[in-house]
Amino acid sequence: MTRSLFRSARTTGKTLRVVLIKPSKYDDEGYVIRHFRGVLPSNTLACLASLTRDVAGRRLLGDIDIEVELFDDTVEKIPVRRIIRSHRLPRTRTVIALAGVQSNQFPRAADLARKFRAGGLQVLIGGFHVSGTLAMLEGVSPEIQELLDLGVTVVKGEVEETWGDLLRDAAEDRLRPLYDFMDHKPDLHDRPIPMIHGDYLRKFIVSNFGTIDCSRGCPFNCSFCSIISVQGRKMRERSPEALIRTLRENYARNRVNFYFFTDDNFARNRHWREIFLALIRLREEERIPIEFMIQVDTQSYRIPDFIPLAARAGCTQVFIGMESINPRNLEAVGKTQNHVQDYARLIAAWHGARVATHVAYIFGFPFDTPESLRSDVARLQSELQVEQASFFMLTPIPGSQDHARMVHSGEPMHPDLNDYDSFHETIRHPNFRPGELAASYREAWKNFYSFDYMRDVLRRANPENYRNIFFNFIWYRNSTLIEGGHPMLHGFFRLKDRVDRRPGCVVESRLRHFLRRSREIRATLRSWLALALEMEELWLQTRKRSEAELRLVAEIQSLRSQLNRNLRAAELQLAHIRTRLQFPELRVPSRLALALRNLNFGMAKRLAYSRSDLRQFWQRATARPIRLLARPHRVVLNFLKDAQLFFLFLRDLARA
């Protein structure tokens, strides 16, 4: 569906239509990775939408009107033909901006660019792939040259100070092949803050979640990272006042109150104190319940006041670039700011402030072996006790020092950029047989997000963080085990467009596609049911109970052990009355309600610590269905109990 963000006030002049597109990538079968609901909205789209609105608002193009549309390929189909058709309207120029294109998205972006160019439209492409590659390699790489030959305009660097000039060139049909803004990195201080659009957010699983980059750059020098070659090692920050104004506005307009501040290293944002203090005022004086997660380096815990102020400002989760717990690996990749001996103190410092920790961990560093990786994952759980880990396969990302070195030395690299998503094996590692690194990697996801470890984490979690961690577990299990991809790329319920397939892949007949998708959807629904029951069990075993509830359960168990049988309604009522002596807020249900305990939601919730009895009943029932038919009342009762518990589970999650 078209999402027209805005159009400037009508004049009698020409119109420039700016179509902002965030490309997705292809899966291993050549289908575009697209979901019914995504998880992470694109910050680049929000940035460019705000910049375009600013250009229109200040009428930088004179009497040329501006219309903007925004599409995210990861959550919606790009209406290529309609966009091309609308270009034929009189006195209208259309420019396509393929925004924030990373290396793994480049093949998809290039295919979209070809289609739009064939339709006669002007196309811009920017982002980490083109900027990083052009910054680190001499000359122009073949895939970028191919786009230049097609007439696509390549934008190297950031456009905060030059977007108006680019759009003017587009409106006047005089775009140049290459714009190079790399040597002049824009000052972000007074540039428009990325604004979140409500309609766009509704494409995501939670619509109160936004992303904003409060700063860019990083002072460190890790050899696998392309941030430094694109954004530089000098930090550039947005104005804290403008940021807070935007958060206030986003809350008032779209009820957005949870943020991922996408700065690659928030701890090095020189305005962190001002931002945290302003957030504290928002939360404590204006009652705007902002919460957020940030990315920081491993030395963040040494910055005086940083952690306590972050926690008070609403930080619920911190993403830490740990990368490895082998010092030799860290030294080999230039991550010398990470000191393994400090990790326990670092994690304890964040835990002390009741902030959940989420570490980035890379597989494929020089000193990794299958055994060392297995033991590293176990140590993350047992020694460091981090709540979450995101695993990445070491990938020679164009724009990184590793990539440049490998190009110069002629080391083999996987030829398909589509696989540069840190979920595929793209380099040969001497300590691993082909495919073994990928196998270790997949095993790590499975082992880390095991039921037992998730249960331990949730039991330790502080009540305010319980819900966030629980949802993250659902998201991560769904992405890695059901969708089979990285959580940063996968949302919920995969869509596959039959005809929008990677060039070279055969487009299936309607019937064949229907049969295949029916099979896949059935398998997904089965996996979802298993995941839902697993998460329900996790909730039953870990949910936070009030003191009164714990006391009541103890009373009931003590009565039960004295009488050695199930309790009658009057006896259950007695347990409630006894507990109420200590906890006057406890409501005592009527005897009728207690007699109908199998239909009583309150009792079901208080007494259930697991659904293992129900699981065993259904297992026995399916193994011996004849016995089941002889006792239909037990089937009905257990079904009601199961349905009731599941309803309570969903209601609790929705309310928490």
Contacts 24+ apart (CB under 8 A), 110-117: 110/143, 110/146, 110/147, 111/502, 111/503, 112/21, 112/23, 112/73, 112/78, 112/80, 113/147, 113/150, 113/152, 114/150, 115/80, 115/84, 116/80, 116/83, 116/84, 117/150, 117/151, 117/152
Q: Min. distance of Cβ 445 from ligand SF4 in angstroms? A: 21
Of residues 226 and 257, the one with the C-beta less far from ligand SF4: 226
Of residues 65 and 297, the one with the C-beta less far from ligand SF4: 297
Of residues 212 and 645, the one with the C-beta less far from ligand SF4: 212
Q: Min. distance of Cβ 204 from ligand SF4 in angstroms? A: 25
Got the DSSP string for 175-187?
A: --SEEE-TTSPPP
Of residues 55 and 222, the one with the C-beta less far from ligand SF4: 222
Got the DSSP string for 576-595?
A: HHHHHHH-TTPPPPPHHHHH
DSSP letter (8 states) at residue 322: E
Of residues 296 and 437, the one with the C-beta less far from ligand SF4: 296
Q: Min. distance of Cβ 325 from ligand SF4 in angstroms? A: 16
Q: Min. distance of Cβ 231 from ligand SF4 in angstroms? A: 9
Q: What are the residues binding ligand SF4 (CB under 6 A)?
A: 218, 220, 222, 225, 227-228, 264-265, 297, 321
CA 482 → CA 1, 165, 444, 446, distances in Å? 28, 45, 15, 11
Q: Min. distance of Cβ 220 from ligand SF4 in angstroms? A: 4
Q: Min. distance of Cβ 222 from ligand SF4 in angstroms? A: 3
3-state SS class at 466: helix
Of residues 205 and 222, the one with the C-beta less far from ligand SF4: 222
Of residues 47 and 222, the one with the C-beta less far from ligand SF4: 222
Q: Min. distance of Cβ 259 from ligand SF4 in angstroms? A: 19
CA 548 → CA 32, 382, 597, 644, distances in Å? 51, 32, 19, 22
Of residues 160 and 264, the one with the C-beta less far from ligand SF4: 264
Residue 490's φ and ψ, nearest 5 degrees, are: -110, 140
Q: Min. distance of Cβ 228 from ligand SF4 in angstroms? A: 5
What the block records as the tokens of 497 is 């467009």
Partners of 393 in beta bridges? 363
CA dist 369 and 449 (Å) reads 21
CB within 8 Å of 45: residues ≥ 6 apart: 20, 22, 70, 72, 99, 100, 200
Single-letter amino acid code for the residue at 449: Y
Of residues 264 and 291, the one with the C-beta less far from ligand SF4: 264
Distance in Å from the first CA to the final CA of the chain: 33
Single-letter amino acid code for the residue at 316: T
Of residues 153 and 300, the one with the C-beta less far from ligand SF4: 300
Other CB atoms within 10 A of residue 37 CB: 14
Of residues 220 and 260, the one with the C-beta less far from ligand SF4: 220
What the block records as the tokens of 219 is 């002072």
CA 381 → CA 66, 369, 386, 456, 535, distances in Å? 53, 19, 6, 10, 20
Q: Min. distance of Cβ 262 from ligand SF4 in angstroms? A: 11
Q: Min. distance of Cβ 205 from ligand SF4 in angstroms? A: 27
Q: Min. distance of Cβ 237 from ligand SF4 in angstroms? A: 15
